[in-house]
Structures are given as C-alpha cells and as structure tokens.
Amino acid sequence: MSKRVVIVGMGFGGIKAAEALASSDLEVLCLDRRNYHLFQPLLYQVATATLNLESIAHPVRAIMRGKKNVRFQLAEVQKVNLDEKKLQTAQGEISYDYLILGAGSVTNHFGMTSIADYAYDLKQLNDAVALRNHILAIFERASVETDPAVRDALLTFAVVGAGPTGTEFSGSLIELIQVLSKDFPMIAPKDCKVILIEAMGAVLPPFSEKSQKYAEKKLRDLGVDVRLNTAVKGVTLAAENGTKTDLIQFGDGTTLPMFTLLWAAGVKAAPLADALDVPKQRGGRVIVDQNWAITDHPEAFVVGDMAWYELEDGKPLPGVAPVAVQSGEYVANFIKAAVKGQTIKPFKYFDKGKMAIIGRRVAVAEIGSSPKGIKMTGIRAWLAWLGVHVALMAGVRNRVLTIVNWVWDYLFMDRQLRLLTHEGDKVHNETF
C-alpha cells in the first residue's frame, strides 16, 4: 500500500510540492479551503481595476488534472495532531504518512484592533474586490460632496507600509486616479492625495539603497506623498472624534483625515500555525530544520510563509514566492527519497532576486543575490517584471488575459474594469 502525503494549502509551495510528487508512487491528497490557486503578487492590480479576478486565480482541479496519483479536496483544516499523524476537518478526520503545511500568511496588524477593523488589506481575492469597490464608491460620493473638508478626506488615500505591496499599489492607484478623472471631470487628479506611510527610513526596505532612492524619487515624481519614519498607532472614527471625517493616528500625536486605508505593513503566519504546539518564531512562523521539517516530527514539513527557515548566517528566509516554490519542491524530493530509504543534498536557496513596479515603464529589479547580482531600473526592470510575473502565473488563459489587459492599459491608459459591483461596500463613515 502506497504511503499518503497530505498537502495543506494550494499556494506557491503547495502547488509546487504536488507537481513534484505527481510522478511518484505516493498517494497525494491536496487540501485547501478555496478551490483555486491565487497569484497574490497581483492582487493590488485587481484592486486598482487593471486585472479581473479570473486573471490571477486558477482552479486547483484544473492544475491537477491528469495527475493520477494527486487528488484535491475542498476542506479547511481545523486541528493538526502531529503525534497521531491526523488532521481534523469539517468533513472528518484525515490521516497521513507525510504532511506538508503551506497555508501561507495573513495580515499582521500588530495588535491594533482599530486598524484591523478599519483598514483594507490584500491577502485574499475578496479583499481586492472590496477595495476596488470602495475606491470607486469613494469617487461617486466625492463627486457630489459639498463639504470641502469631507471631500478632501474622501480623496485622501493612505497606504501604510512601503514594501513591494504598498509601493506597487500606490503607483497603480495614481494611474487609476488619472483614468477616473476622465469619468469624473469635477475631480482633478491634483485634488487626490495618495500618501505612502512607512515606519522605517526608506521605501522597499529589502532592496539596495540605490534602488530605494530611485523608487522613492519616482513615487514622488508620480505625485505620491511619501512619509518615512512615520509610525501609525490607530484609527479614530468620526463618531468618536466629533468630526465628519475618520482620522489616522500617528505615533507623534498628529492625525490625518481620510476614509481609505490600505494596511501593507506586515504579515504573520496563517492561523493554522496556532494549532501547532511546536516552537515558533517572530510572526508565529513555525521553526523548521534544514529539511523544512518540524522539530521532533521528521515526517511533517512546513513550507513558504508559515515556516521560519534560518540560513547559516542566522537570517530567516523571507516570505516570498521563490522561497515557497523552492521549499515545496525540495520537500517533495526529500519525501520521495525518504520513501526509498535514500537521502538528498541539504536545501540550498537560490536567490533569484526581487522586483517592484512603480508605474508605466518604471520599476526596480535586483537579479541574483547581492553584491554580485544585476541591478536594473526603468524600462528594463519594468519589462523584466512583466515577463517574470507572466511566467509565474498558472494557466495559459490567465497569462493571455493578463497580457491583453496590460497591453490595453499601456496603449490607451484606460482601465476597463471600473465596475462597482457591490454598491457601498465598506465605505467608511457613511454608506450609499
């Protein structure tokens, strides 16, 4: 009887592990509470009306079609019993011989409940749709608002966190505002404020200083108000502060009137990590050994954002797609070797670099590990970013749809997906 491998989470790591195990004699069961694989790096483009939902999501069953030893089941794992090698789901108990956990990460609000209740984030498909609806609804409301202070707050868009998500969203939002100003002639682009707020002293903290300065300059050139060394401590609603606008509270005691807040300032391990009574590190990430296995459980592995994998210098690998892909593939190969009584070489991470797009023909790209890696800016980096993201997407149809939307946007500076599908969806302070 073949041994069973259960993979929890169909993100980058889980999908790669399943594909690597597809040619083996093992029984592979994939579990996820969603029936699709989500390309999270492009969620912000759904939120800013560049791409539609179908462009960045692909059915898991379609990905696994034709892989005879791989089966998918729609289920949410509620408990993990590592000692008995069993998982508890709403559909019942599932046993395993080997376990791969790749449930990813969720937004970290660092204990600030007012931020958690108020802010938008970009981790799920519904998050992007809700934010897009909110932005469009805000413009509808601002177009008829007669109170100058309220109108100004409506057209103030605060983005907290100047990592890749916050930076890319800010640049894309500026471009969306330019498009929307054609639909709303009473709202000029100069009436809108996009404020990028970062607690540290630079945008794109993981990048080199040269790339950081380039990105900051280009953001400012686009019209983004970049505020560095600025900490956010909460949100006060209009009903609580006696004004007509909601307020962001800063660490220095100042406030900012607004109605739109995107939180992109940090992530933590998915809630499934809380169900594991094992050693964890910062952000609730599960500590794993050199084979990505959980301490004292060599048959259970954690890959991707949920894992805390330390390199020889003591630094953890970041929670990015290349890490998830490489860890998922390695664990699959490790399991295949273990079943045969063999071993494989220790895991070695290949740093392919990092990229961030800022606007049309403007991006930064650092290919390979520093300091020997190649650093690019401008149109070369922009083209590299486009190529890499298309290549990483699942499904030919998704790639084609994405390219078509990008080409249309580039040629006509027009975003066709400006549909307010849920009127008044989470419009703060008032609804329509």
Residues with a catalytic annotation lie at: 168
- In the chain the first and final C-alpha atoms are separated, in Å, by 60
From CA 261, how far away is CA 94, in angstroms rounded? 41
Close Cβ partners of 308 (under 8 Å, ≥ 6 residues apart)? 280, 281, 282, 285, 286, 287, 288, 316
Helix (H) or strand (E) holding 60: helix 60-64
Contacts of 158 (CB under 8 A, 6+ apart): 195, 197, 248, 256, 258, 260, 261, 262
Q: What are the tokens at 358?
A: 């800022």
Which of these, 249, 201, 263, lies nearest to 44 by C-alpha position?
263
Question: What's at 227, amino acid-wise?
Answer: R
Give the rounded distance of the alpha carbon of 263 from its chain centre: 11
β-pairing verdict for 70-74 and 27-32:
parallel
Dump strand ranges (E) for 345-404.
Answer: 353-359, 362-367, 374-377
How far is Cα 122 from Cα 33, in angstroms, rounded to an integer?
A: 18
- Give the residue among 307, 267, 306, 275 at the shortest CA–CA distance from 289: 307
